[in-house]
Structure 1
Amino acid sequence: MEIIAGIMVLLVVASILQRVTGMGFALLLAPFLAVMVGPHSGVILTNALSFLAPLLMIAAVWKDIDWRRLAVIVPAALLVMPPFGWVMANTPQGPLYIVVGSIVILALAVTLWLNRIDVHADGKGLLVATGVGTGGGVVLAGVGAPAMTSYAVLARWNITSFAASLQPLWALTALTAFGVNYFYSGESLPSFPWWFWPLCVPVILVGMWAGGGVRKLVSESLVRKLVIGLALFGGLLSLITGIRDVAGL
């Protein structure tokens, strides 16, 4: 019961963060769930909850979703997830996390530098690359947000539309990641009472409601900084996880 209560508290906080910035749900949940239910089961549970939360949020942000961009990003992300899943299953985890984390941090640094010198980039090729980076990041290290953040900065994507458009993307990539992880590892969801999943729905909705109130109180500039900060945190978390694994800590 203590574990379930802890998960419900995390769900409220993660849902608030997701409603305000469009991202950060899995990033917040994953480290805590890994401790609560074990690393492998934690990943599977994170994937399942990361499908449920954005799915519930889509209706609230529907009018702001940019389906034109998603029409390119989503197929690219989903297509690369199975082969990246094979890479993950056949590569030592520690070095893989280090490589992914380093690439994420470098890519964000370059993107922010380009933004400072007022470089604007967009187009189908960049959208495809963003999808590949998102899908690969989700499967390899659970960090799909940095690729999307880099694109949003370069393309000057309106932050409200960006946050809304992430919801169907996260729902689809989480569902696919769940299938890929199950196929390669055979891991299944941890065992909870039957009422656990129905209870998650109102808890997430409460977080969404609170996040909607918070979103009205913060500026576009602050939300943009939070999005970039979360993406950077994801890269650092991946890098630190890899270093600890290699060092046997």
Structure 2
Amino acid sequence: MTLLLAGLAAFTAAVIQRITGLGFVLVLIGPFVLLYGPTEGVTAAILLALVAAVVAVPLVWREVDWRRSVWLIWPGLLTAPLGILVSQVLPEPALLLLIGAMAVFALTAGFLPALAGALRGRSGAVAAGAAGGFMQTASGLSGPALAAHAVGDRWPQRSFTASVQVIFVVFSGIGVLLRGLPDLAPADTGILVGVTVLGIVAGTLAAHRVPATMARRAMLAIAWAGAVVVLVRGVIALAAGPLAS
């Protein structure tokens, strides 16, 4: 049952990612943390985010803005180890709260004009890239920081959506190198990878038939539900901790 639910979440996330260009880990993180725990759930989500981005890059290659991408990538490479360190030293209740808080920030960042305004230009790219690298290795949720920069810098949506796939490949690749592979059965990992690829293919076929607004609404509904449940689970675990000891 766990694998079935995880596969359904991965397929749905991949379809939404292909239609909207963002949202893969936002959709995936809640179900995966609840199914596999905050450490293995994030590790598995980052691996599948890498798979989804690698499959998507050839489809959008011609639209990539390499100059802008590089200015987001290199600061993220510097902060990525810090995200790993934080995820390793925090106890599970605190890690659940951190992941839930990052998910809420990811869902609300687009509604904060001041944030987008502060992330304009070259300095904004460095700040957004650094935040994205940290958030990717800590929780897999690098997209919103990058998107906030894109909004503030008036980056055309089509070019940004293509370029961010390359950034996801780099950030997720570093996340896999630093975190390692998820501690799942190799067959389960292979199935989840295969389902993710199928989701990208299905999303490509559905992109011209399913309105992007509908896909975004589905993404937000799933992501908010997952974030709230993860936060509640973290609060319960934190409250139970002293009693359990």
The bucket for the TM-score relative to the shorter chain is: 0.7 to 0.9
Mapped to 2, the partners of 1:83 and 1:240 lie a distance apart of 26
State the match for 1:160 in structure 2: 158
The residue aligned with 1:212 is 204
Q: CA deviation at 1:147?
A: 0.5
* TM-score using structure 2 length: 0.76
Q: CA deviation at 1:48?
A: 1.6
Would you say the 8 A contact 1:64–1:165 is kept in 2? yes
* Rounded Cα–Cα distance in structure 2 between residues aligned with 1:215 and 1:109: 25
Aligned to 1:173: 171
2:183 to 185, 189, 205: 189
Q: Which amino acid is the alignment partner of residue 164 of structure 2?
A: L
**Alpha-carbon distance, 1:226 to partner:** 5.8
- CA distances 1:174-225 after superposition (whole Å, capped 9, x unpaired): 221223234xxxx7531133x8527734x334322332244334667x3897
RMSD over equivalenced CA pairs, Å: 3.8
What is the alpha-carbon distance in structure 1 between the residues aligned to residue 55 and residue 157 of structure 2? 20
Asked whether the 8 Å contact 1:50–1:170 carries over to 2, the reply is: yes
DSSP 3-state at the match of 1:30: helix
Residue deviations 1:125-151 (CA, integer Å, cap 9, x gap):
111001011011123333212211211
Instruction: Tell me how far 1:110 sits from its aligned partner.
Output: 7.5
* Matched-pair contact (CA < 8 Å) for 2:110–2:144: no
CA distance in 2, matches of 1:39, 1:105: 16
Report the CA distance between 1:40 and its aligned residue.
Answer: 2.6
Residue type of the alignment partner of 2:60: V
Q: 1:242 to 1:180 in 2, by over 3 A?
A: farther
Segments of structure 2 that go 5 or more residues without pairing to the other structure are none
Secondary structure of 2:120's match?
coil
Match of 2:86? Answer: 87
Count of equivalent residues: 239
Query: Quick one: which of 193, 208, 222 aligns to 1:200?
Result: 193
Query: Aligned partners of 1:71, 1:77: CA distance in 2, in Å?
Result: 10
Query: Hey, what's the Cα distance between the residues in 2 that align with 1:211 and 1:61?
Result: 14
Residue 148 of structure 2 corresponds to: 150
In the alignment, the residues of structure 1 paired with residue 211 and residue 234 of structure 2 have an alpha-carbon distance, to the nearest angstrom, of 35
Counterpart for residue 246 of structure 1: 238
User: 2:219 and 2:192 mapped to 1: Cα distance?
Assistant: 32
